[in-house]
Amino acid sequence: MNSQQLFRRSRLQLATWYALVMGGILSLSGFGMARALVQSNWVALEREIESTAGTLHDSLEPILPPSKDPTTVLQQIFPDLCIAEQPCEPSSTLIQRHTLGISDRTTYYIRVFDDQGNLLAYSPNQPQPLPTTLNPAPWQTLQTEDGSRYQQFTTILHSAAHTHAPSDVPHEHPAWGYLQVGRTLAPFDAELQRLRWILFGSLPLALGLIAIASWGLSGLAMQPIYQSYQRQQQFTADVAHELRSPLASLLATVEAILRLPPEQTAQVPVLLNTVERQGRRLSQLVADLLLLTSLEQNTTVKPTHPCCLNDIVADLTEELAELAAATDIHLSHHIPDAEISVMGNESQLYRLVLNLIANAIQYTPSGGAVVVSLAAHDRIATMTVKDTGIGIPIEEQSRIFERFYRVNSDRSRKTGGTGLGLAIAQAITQRHHGQLALASEIGRGSVFTLSLPYMPLQNLNAVA
């Protein structure tokens, strides 16, 4: 399986997991919200029924007849109700309808039972068929043959005599009767059906959008991994390329030494010098790779302490003066009298400044100049390395800190560079929470600007 297939398969798996997790969360949230909405509507509906029944209950109890045959009185109290076992011909007047219009009779129905559970009166709009005997359960959900549903509430009625009777006087029947108030569930069922249509209609669309979004998000998530993999492949290819040339030269030199005839042994020291030079170059390349890897992976944590940049710049310009003079380059520095120190690792900072100055010397033609300046302002220590070299094209400047990257491959090989100097400098800068910037112009040279967090001397003494 090649790398493209591997990443495509990984992206598909990641997108599938994204879609499953996000779809599951959305589905659970949707069903949970729908259930909560239905439950709240149901509770509100029951409270409405219970409130209506309570209003009727409180209005009827004071005028309930104590007689055994209350149908005549019930007809007077409820002129719009039908009496059980009698023809149902309700004919209420406008005043009666206004007086008894406690509830919406198109939505609600009323049933009255005696204390034995026998039906006494009922609304003409009650669902059919309903039993004529009482079911004392407080709440009931009824369904007719045509599928219509009703919610029914039952409450106990007490007569006025029972209400005012002393609590210590025994009575044969604790209740006068029962009042049932029912309500059609057609609006509730219609709302429930609409909610189902919305839920089941929008869920596939939402899942489809989640699938598309998951594929896009998985691509974004895999992009840094893919780029890292590409950089790793490029790094491996660059290392192989960099090692191949000195190794080939080294092997060729050793082979030449082995094939020398006895009379040409005087050439052996010269060839051995070539072997030593190539061996040192390989050793330096491996050491730079190990250093760069440890810097980027942060595998070694070294203690930090105040480091004087004045001393580092002065020492390095003095050490590299001979190298600059050998190529007729004027190397100078401008260091302030005040000490500028930063918290960090001195050996790493030494290597950072060394790489910047050596890079400027290597790529500056004879007769040029390299100037190193140091300053501090607003708690930032700034070091600039300015050269009069050939410059770097604008399109190449964004890649100048990459490993093994060279604007011109031949020039590094002539000066013995490995192509890792600026990459190491950038890694050390990032380790010290600084910034390394480049400004360059073709034919006019380059300026590398190093910025590091700077602490005043009194603060450094407190830390020390």
Instruction: Evaluate if residue 35 carries a pLDDT over 80.
Output: yes
Residue 435 pLDDT grade (very low, low, confident, very high; cuts 50, 70, 90): very high
* Structural tokens at position 84: 């059980």
Name which residue leads in pLDDT, 324 or 264. 324
Name which residue leads in pLDDT, 131 or 140. 140
The separation between CA 241 and the C-alpha centre of its own chain, rounded to angstroms, equals 41
Average pLDDT, the chain: 81
| Secondary-structure percent of the chain, ordered helix, strand, coil, rounded to 5 | 55, 20, 30
**According to the model, what pLDDT value does residue 135 have?**
87
**According to the model, what pLDDT value does residue 447 have?**
93
Buried-exposed string 348-369: b where 16+ CB fall within 10 A, e elsewhere: bbbbbbbbbbbbbbbbbeeebb
**According to the model, what pLDDT value does residue 71 have?**
67
**According to the model, what pLDDT value does residue 281 have?**
78
What's the CA gap between 374 and 318, in Å, rounded? 15
Answer yes or no: are the C-beta atoms of 78 and 110 closer than 8 Å.
yes
Burial of 337 (0-12, 13-18, 19+ CB in 10 A): exposed
Determine the average pLDDT of the residues in 174-186: 86
Homologous superfamily in CATH for domain 305-463: Histidine kinase-like ATPase, C-terminal domain (3.30.565.10)
Query: What tens digit of pLDDT does each residue of 62-94 get?
Result: 777 666 566 666 666 666 777 777 777 655 444
Of 120, 123, 143, 144, residue with least CA distance to 133: 120
Of 104, 86, 73, 276, residue with least CA distance to 177: 73
Answer yes or no: are the C-beta atoms of 74 and 110 closer than 8 Å.
no
- The neighbour count for residue 427, using CB atoms within 10 Å, is 24
Tell the CATH topology of 3-194: Beta-Lactamase (3.30.450)
Question: If you ran DSSP here, which 8-state letter would residue 133 be given?
Answer: B
Instruction: Evaluate if residue 462 carries a pLDDT over 70.
Output: no
What's the CA gap between 24 and 18, in Å, rounded? 10
Determine the average pLDDT of the residues in 115-125: 84
Residue 436 pLDDT grade (very low, low, confident, very high; cuts 50, 70, 90): very high
Instruction: Evaluate if residue 247 carries a pLDDT over 70.
Output: yes
Instruction: Evaluate if residue 137 carries a pLDDT over 50.
Output: yes
Question: With a threshold of 0.95, does the pTM exceed it?
Answer: no
Domain ranges of the chain: 3-194, 305-463
Place of tokens 């360059």: 440
Name which residue leads in pLDDT, 379 or 353. 353
Instruction: Evaluate if residue 335 carries a pLDDT over 70.
Output: yes
In 215-319, beta strands by DSSP E: 305-308
* Structural tokens at position 352: 């950072």
- The neighbour count for residue 417, using CB atoms within 10 Å, is 19
User: Do the domains 305-463 and 3-194 match in fold?
Assistant: no
**According to the model, what pLDDT value does residue 300 have?**
58
* Structural tokens at position 145: 């043959």
